[in-house]
Amino acid sequence: MDIVTLQDGPVIARFVPHAGMIGISLSDDGTELLGQRRGLDTYISAGKTMGLPLLHPWANRLSVNNFEPDAAGVRTDPNGLPIHGLLAAHPDWEVVSQSAQTLVAHFDFAAHPELLASFPYPHLLEIAVTLSGRTLTLRTTVTATGGTAVPLCFGFHPYLQIPGVPRGQWWVETPALRHLPVDERGLPTGESTTAPAAREVLGDRAFDDGYDQVPHGAVFAVSAGDRRIQVQFLEGYPAAQIFAPPAEDVICFEPMAAPTDALTRGDYRTAAPGNPAVASFSITV
The total of other beta-carbon atoms located within 10 Å of residue 273's CB is: 16
Q: Is 90 exceeded by the pLDDT of residue 104?
A: yes
| Alpha helices (H) along 112-266 | 113-116, 262-265
Q: What is the mean pLDDT of residues 23-51?
A: 97
Positive or negative, the Cα torsion across 181, 37, 73, 141? positive
| pLDDT for the residue numbered 1 | 80
Q: What is the mean pLDDT of residues 137-148?
A: 98
Q: What pTM was computed for the model?
A: 0.97
pLDDT tens readout for residues 193-236: 999 999 999 999 999 999 999 999 999 999 999 999 999 999 99
Cα pseudo-dihedral 223, 228, 229, 231, rounded to 10 = 90
- What is the pLDDT of the chain when averaged over all its residues? 97
Is residue 171 within 8 A of residue 199, CB to CB? The reply is: yes
Domains of the chain: 4-284 (2.70.98.10)
